[in-house]
Amino acid sequence: MKNKYIFGGFIIVVFLGIMAFLFTQTSVGYEEDFSKIKVSGKTIKATGAWVKEKSYHIDSERNLFSFYMEDFNGNEIKVIYSGVMPNNFESSTSVVVTGKYQNGVFQASDILTKCPSKYESEFEQQQAKS
């Protein structure tokens, strides 16, 4: 009977150890300054805006989507994403990319876009009337 409790306690301790290890390995930093991203070398969530003047490029043969992104200080980086362009990318007001800065480009593993809300324009119209 004691062996069951010892074995169960051992399993719980091993499980908690594995969970703690995985939690420390999956931490992702958040950065809005691209000059810090270039020297980090870690997986980062970067926030900025798409540089519409430089457009974007879709390579359908290699399934790559690339564009330039600008932070709030005016620093630019090129982003390459292995996947398709998000549906609402062209209407986005800001972009959040997750990935690493390597070989002079930001290799994104995920792209999130923030689009203007239909309620924002209604609020602005109401403010203009009053």
pLDDT of residue 47: 87
Q: Which fold has domain 29-116?
A: OB fold (Dihydrolipoamide Acetyltransferase, E2P) (2.40.50)
Average pLDDT value for residue range 100-123: 77
Amino acid (1-letter code) at residue 91: S
pLDDT of residue 12: 92
Band (pLDDT 50/70/90 cuts) for residue 35 is confident
Domain residue spans in the chain? 29-116
pTM of the model as a whole: 0.66
Q: What are the residues facing 73 on neighbouring strands? A: none
Provide the 3-class DSSP secondary structure of residue 12.
helix
d(CA 107, CA 69): 12
pLDDT of residue 36: 77
d(CA 7, CA 25): 27
Averaged confidence pLDDT in the chain: 80
Residue 108 CB burial class (10 angstroms; 0-12, 13-18, ≥19)? buried
**pLDDT tens per residue across span 66-88:** 999 988 888 889 999 988 888 88
Q: What are the residues facing 47 on neighbouring strands? A: 96
